[in-house]
A and B are shown apart, each in its own frame.
Chain A
Amino acid sequence: MTITESDLPGVGKKFEIELGGGEEMIVVIHNTGKREVFRRSGPDADSEKAFEFSDDLARTIGSIIEGAHFQPFEPDTQETTLPGGILLEWYELPPGSPLVGETLESADIGNRTGLAIVAIQRGEEVLDSPGAGTTLCEGDTLIGVGTRENCAAFEEILTE
């Protein structure tokens, strides 16, 4: 990552940021506080102005890009809502979970929590409509369908 900083007498400062593939982003910070952002598609191309911001807006945008406003992260559980408020949710079996080693029949998930296990992802393969004799292993991802209460109940027996 190369960033070149240069002075623009009477105007302000210029920052050229190499983006890879010959593409460059150029930020001109005026003495007045105004920012201009340009894009240059190659070393011989002309800079095309993309954006212009006031000082305040530029600082806000800067903090958004920096991640101070929102930290992107991948959540542990993923859920999708089906029509009627039914959730499609998946859980990874953590090490030490009481469910590890049980079969679907002996774990009795359906009767204890109301959540129906519709598929199990184990490594690269997916077991859909797993039979009652299927043994649960550490690291399995269980895909279940149920209400929010069913999910909450399942989350309890998952770890305790």
Chain B
Amino acid sequence: MALLDVGVMFVAVAVAGAVANRLGQSVIPAYILVGMLLGEFVLGRVALPAVGTVYVPETEFISLGAELGIVFLLFFLGLEFNLDRLFARWRPIGTAGTIDLANFGAGLVLGWLVFGAFLPAFLVAGIVYISSSAVITKSLIDLGWIANDEAEPMLGTLVYEDLFIAVYLSVASALVLGGGDVAAAATDVGIALGFIVGLLAVVQFGTPLFDRLVATDNREFVVLRAVATVVFVAGAALALGVSEAVAAFFVGMAFSATEQAHTIETILEPVRDVFAAVFFFWIGLVTNPALFADVAALVALAVVVTTPTKVVTGYLAGRAFDLDARRSTRVGLGMTTRGEFSLIIATVAVTGANAGTFDPVLAGTINAFAVGYVLVMAVLGTTLMGYSAPFESIATSWLERDASDEVGEGG
């Protein structure tokens, strides 16, 4: 039956992906929704005629597949991450990315006001801060914006966010898995940061080693050795109490400097896509839609607060890249899209609850919040990008008129 469960899961995500694509929407919300529908909280509550109650249970394979999904998503982030590129364009990217951190502050305030405690606020801040690389990049290609000037500030800001989230995730998982005790948490954060420094050293000096590891023409060996390295290091990190996602990110970075980086990217892309779909499906499976009623107000509040903040910080990011009002508005609208990384942050809370170091009720609430928030923001962001024209003309008429007024007064 376990094989049938997995089969049902893959049929479901395949169909959901096709439907979302037909509707011009991102596939991520579709995978989550179909997972939710087929899980114990929806299908499991329905007594079907003849067969009784059947649903897709959260089997070990599915939850492990989801974990591999996180590992591969972050591995690819690292593989495509390029420190040289970041430093080459440091001035605008640094400016845009630092302005973008205002969203983290907004999330922190919002989380504090709702939960009245630091740790949940810290998680909410991460969830609302990070934009979705996957959804935004796909929309950029679909709309043809990839060839326009607005692509650079968007992709540049995402690179900055990726680096921030790598550090954030290691701190967040140390805090959550450390249980709340400040002294213990400080030790765990120290270990996590030490682990990052160690991995950075490996990335910096280990390139010849990684090069030799995948220096073969045999694609089978390349794929096996890359998977072996990333999954083993991620697993070892988790065993040490360090975020597996962060470890995967740095392993990706280490491979990005090798000559085989492009080959690894090409041949592992389908592997990532399969496990990422499992991850989104799993998120849907473990999310109880009944909890949406409890978090609806929080989701609505977060949407109302963090959509405008992202639009503003995105607009300023566009300005930091010397774009005009119209293109900067597009940057702002596009950056509102949240997705996979917000969900990965939510799983930190779920992992903590499973390990007994985090309040399970609070973890359920935060997970439901993240899923509800991502469902809204992924669809909203994609839609805003697709129908950006009216916003662009509003922005142009407001902001460029102000600008010309200023020039007029000055002259």
> A residues touching B (Cβ–Cβ < 8 Å)?
6-11, 14, 26, 28, 30-32, 36, 38, 40, 44, 46-49
Q: How far is the CB of A152 from chain B (nearest CB, A)?
A: 55
Q: A44 near B324 (CB under 8 angstroms)?
A: yes
Q: B85 near A7 (CB under 8 angstroms)?
A: yes
Q: A11 near B155 (CB under 8 angstroms)?
A: yes
Q: How far is the CA of A151 from the CA of B265 in the complex (A)?
A: 63
Chain B residues with Cβ below 8 Å from A31 are 262, 265-266
Greatest chain B CB density within 10 A among A9, A11, A31, A38 is at A9
The residue on B at minimum CB distance from A46 is B148
Chain A residues with Cβ below 8 Å from B80 are 9-10
Q: How far is the CB of B401 from chain A (nearest CB, A)?
A: 17
Q: B82 near A9 (CB under 8 angstroms)?
A: yes
A–B Cβ pairs within 8 angstroms, 11 of them: A7-B85, A9-B81, A9-B82, A9-B159, A11-B137, A14-B146, A28-B147, A38-B147, A48-B144, A49-B144, A49-B147
Q: B266 near A32 (CB under 8 angstroms)?
A: yes
Q: How far is the CA of A48 from the CA of B148 in the complex (A)?
A: 9
Chain B residues with Cβ below 8 Å from A6 are 152
Chain A residues with Cβ below 8 Å from B85 are 7, 9
Chain A residues with Cβ below 8 Å from B82 are 7, 9
Chain A residues with Cβ below 8 Å from B152 are 6
The answer to the question of B141 belonging to the interface, with a C-beta cut-off of 8 Å to chain A, is: yes
Q: How far is the CA of A28 from the CA of B148 in the complex (A)?
A: 11
Q: How far is the CB of A24 from chain B (nearest CB, A)?
A: 9
By Cβ-Cβ distance, the 10 closest A-B pairs, closest first, are A47-B147, A38-B147, A26-B147, A10-B80, A49-B144, A9-B155, A47-B148, A10-B137, A9-B80, A7-B85
Chain B residues with Cβ below 8 Å from A28 are 146-147
Q: How far is the CB of B84 from chain A (nearest CB, A)?
A: 10
Return the contact of A10 from the options B144, B147, B155 (Cβ within 8 A): B155
Q: A11 near B158 (CB under 8 angstroms)?
A: no
> B residues touching A (Cβ–Cβ < 8 Å)?
76, 80-82, 85, 133, 137, 140-141, 144-148, 151-152, 155-156, 158-159, 262, 265-266, 269, 324
Q: A11 near B141 (CB under 8 angstroms)?
A: yes
Apart from A9-B155, A11-B137, what 7 extra A-B contacts exist at CB < 8 Å?
A9-B85, A10-B155, A11-B140, A11-B146, A31-B265, A36-B144, A46-B144
The residue on A at minimum CB distance from B158 is A9
The residue on B at minimum CB distance from A16 is B147
Chain B residues with Cβ below 8 Å from A48 are 144
Greatest chain B CB density within 10 A among A10, A32, A36 is at A10
Chain A residues with Cβ below 8 Å from B140 are 11
Return the contact of B151 from the options A8, A36, A40 (Cβ within 8 A): A8
Chain B residues with Cβ below 8 Å from A9 are 80-82, 85, 155-156, 158-159
Q: How far is the CA of A49 from the CA of B144 in the complex (A)?
A: 7
Q: How far is the CB of B52 from chain A (nearest CB, A)?
A: 45
Q: How far is the CA of A5 from the CA of B136 in the complex (A)?
A: 22
Chain B residues with Cβ below 8 Å from A11 are 137, 140-141, 146, 155
Chain A residues with Cβ below 8 Å from B262 are 31
Q: How far is the CA of A49 from the CA of B141 in the complex (A)?
A: 10
The residue on A at minimum CB distance from B134 is A10
Q: How far is the CA of A28 from the CA of B151 in the complex (A)?
A: 12
Q: How far is the CB of B64 from chain A (nearest CB, A)?
A: 26
Q: B266 near A38 (CB under 8 angstroms)?
A: no
Q: How far is the CB of B270 from chain A (nearest CB, A)?
A: 11
Chain A residues with Cβ below 8 Å from B159 are 9
Chain B residues with Cβ below 8 Å from A40 are 147
Q: How far is the CA of A28 from the CA of B147 in the complex (A)?
A: 7
Chain A residues with Cβ below 8 Å from B156 are 9
Q: How far is the CB of A75 from chain B (nearest CB, A)?
A: 40
Chain A residues with Cβ below 8 Å from B148 are 46-47
Chain B residues with Cβ below 8 Å from A46 are 144, 148
Chain B residues with Cβ below 8 Å from A26 are 147
Chain B residues with Cβ below 8 Å from A14 are 146-147, 151
Q: How far is the CA of A8 from the CA of B147 in the complex (A)?
A: 10
Q: How far is the CB of A119 from chain B (nearest CB, A)?
A: 53
The residue on B at minimum CB distance from A26 is B147
Chain B residues with Cβ below 8 Å from A44 are 324
Q: How far is the CA of A8 from the CA of B30 in the complex (A)?
A: 27
Chain A residues with Cβ below 8 Å from B265 are 31
The residue on B at minimum CB distance from A45 is B148
Q: How far is the CB of A97 from chain B (nearest CB, A)?
A: 57
Chain A residues with Cβ below 8 Å from B81 are 9
Return the contact of A47 from the options B76, B141, B144 (Cβ within 8 A): B144
Q: How far is the CA of A7 from the CA of B152 in the complex (A)?
A: 9
Chain A residues with Cβ below 8 Å from B147 are 14, 26, 28, 36, 38, 40, 47, 49
Greatest chain A CB density within 10 A among B147, B155, B324 is at B147
Q: How far is the CA of A67 from the CA of B38 in the complex (A)?
A: 58
Q: How far is the CB of B49 from chain A (nearest CB, A)?
A: 46
Return the contact of B144 from the options A8, A30, A32, A38 (Cβ within 8 A): A38
Chain A residues with Cβ below 8 Å from B141 are 11, 30
